[in-house]
């Protein structure tokens, strides 16, 4: 296989336009096909990447293609034109102090009455403005699912102890969103989650202690999909680490990832490996394993993406950490692969966290919180009365 390369230099422009979104059948977009789950075989994926590589040979070619891919994502996700950003009306409360970092419960309105819930992790000591990192989560339900999981708390706390301001937030129907009655099967899930991630970037940039020019994103599984989708459409993301999700043959197993026509229309076909390549030349780390659909990363997806970075002379900015004997998830081994990448590219301070002799980042200093402590709204601090009822169609 010979793969060529080029990359995305797009900027997200806010369209001063208001529109109500309702999910349309894929058929209403000419030639649209929903590429879901194992939509194609591994061999088909290799052949598809060869076809895609033949559509560009120069950086200029790739930039034109990248623009088309980005546009198709936005159109398919019902985010074209991009909605006018409305007031966030952010709420940050209930600060808890731990070993080198604090945690606060936080929420904002991505659209009027539609809240995004999360936790804001901050370093106690900071020498000036800090990098910001978004942490979307994957598909894990229940009282300890989503952002409430111990593995997500560990990565957020460790990054905060190294000087980052980290926002860990709920997907639709998980964490506080589930607690307050929302269902992940909501027909606008892909639209709402992608828009919420864009607004989460806005939220970080409103914080006067965050350096808006140093923003990273990392998530696993469905959160990995959010990581590469957000990076593709918003160049405010400077560093991206999608974990166990970038695959050329697997298109996501949930409607929040592949339930809208972002991959294939009459005008263009693409896949998640190519969407991830839209990060170039910004630093990108692919974390993959032998036990899921990312098993081919070292030989298939990574070479294609690296060829894109090569056109920019940025081959050193893309890496693949592959765990051939491991399975799906953001276990400690994957977090240990992510930490040095974030340290390097966001300028974090690993002193007191990194054992230089072993190369191990200490997580023992973290406190895993109980779920009730992490809630944004509760009986003592109720949800605002103007909040949309669970299951509402959100107007843009």
pLDDT of residue 142: 62
pLDDT of residue 3: 34
**pLDDT tier for residue 58 given thresholds of 50, 70 and 90:** very high
Instruction: Label the pairing between strands 165-169 and 239-243.
Output: unpaired
**pLDDT tier for residue 126 given thresholds of 50, 70 and 90:** confident
Token duo for residue 377: 């709204």
> Using one digit for the tens of pLDDT, what is the confidence trace for 142-173?
667 899 999 999 999 999 999 999 999 999 99
Q: Quick check: 27 pLDDT over 60?
A: no
> Using one digit for the tens of pLDDT, what is the confidence trace for 176-207?
999 999 999 999 999 999 999 999 999 999 99
Token duo for residue 289: 């394993």
pLDDT of residue 52: 97
Q: Quick check: 2 pLDDT over 60?
A: no
Whether the ω angle into residue 241 lies within 30 degrees of 0, i.e. cis, is no
Distance, C-alpha 211 to centroid of its chain: 19
- Distance linking the first and last C-alpha atoms of the chain: 44
pLDDT of residue 269: 97
**pLDDT tier for residue 17 given thresholds of 50, 70 and 90:** very low
Percent above pLDDT 70 for the chain: 93
91-374 CATH: 3.40.50.1820
Domain ranges of the chain: 91-374
């Amino acid at each position: 296989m010979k793969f060529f390369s080029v990359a995305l230099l797009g900027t997200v422009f806010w369209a001063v336009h208001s529109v109500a979104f309702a999910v349309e059948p894929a058929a209403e977009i000419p030639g649209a096909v929903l590429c879901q789950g194992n939509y194609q075989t591994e061999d088909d994926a290799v052949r598809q990447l060869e076809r895609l590589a033949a559509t560009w040979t120069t950086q200029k070619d790739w930039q034109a293609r990248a623009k088309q891919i980005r546009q198709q994502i936005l159109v398919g996700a019902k985010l074209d034109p991009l909605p006018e950003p409305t007031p966030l009306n952010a709420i940050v409360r209930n600060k808890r102090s731990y070993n080198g970092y604090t945690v606060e419960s936080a929420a904002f309105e991505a659209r009027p009455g539609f809240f995004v819930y999360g936790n804001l992790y901050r370093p106690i000591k900071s020498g000036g403005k800090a990098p910001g990192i978004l942490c979307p989560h994957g598909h894990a339900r229940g009282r300890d699912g989503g952002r409430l999981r111990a593995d997500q708390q560990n990565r957020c706390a460790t990054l905060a102890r190294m000087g980052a301001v980290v926002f860990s937030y709920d997907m639709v129907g998980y964490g506080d969103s589930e607690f307050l009655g929302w269902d992940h099967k909501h027909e606008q899930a892909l639209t709402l989650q992608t828009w919420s991630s864009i607004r989460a970037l806005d939220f970080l940039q409103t914080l006067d202690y965050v350096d808006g020019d140093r923003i990273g994103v990392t998530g696993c599984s469905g959160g990995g999909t959010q990581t590469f989708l957000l990076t593709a459409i918003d160049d405010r993301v400077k560093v991206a680490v999608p974990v166990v999700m970038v695959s050329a043959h697997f298109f996501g197993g949930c409607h929040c990832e592949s339930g809208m026509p972002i991959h294939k229309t009459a005008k263009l076909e693409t896949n998640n490996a190519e969407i991830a390549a839209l990060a170039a030349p910004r630093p990108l780390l692919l974390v993959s394993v032998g036990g899921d659909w990312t098993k081919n990363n070292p030989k298939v997806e990574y070479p294609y993406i690296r060829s894109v970075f090569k056109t920019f002379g940025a081959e050193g900015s893309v890496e693949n950490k592959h765990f051939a004997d491991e399975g799906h998830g953001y276990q400690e081994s994957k977090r240990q692969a992510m930490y040095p990448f974030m340290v390097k590219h966001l300028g974090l301070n690993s002193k007191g966290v990194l054992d230089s002799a072993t190369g191990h980042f200490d997580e023992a200093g973290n406190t895993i919180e109980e779920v009730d402590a992490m809630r944004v709204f509760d009986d003592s601090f109720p949800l605002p009365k103007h909040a949309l009822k669970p299951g509402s169609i959100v107007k843009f």
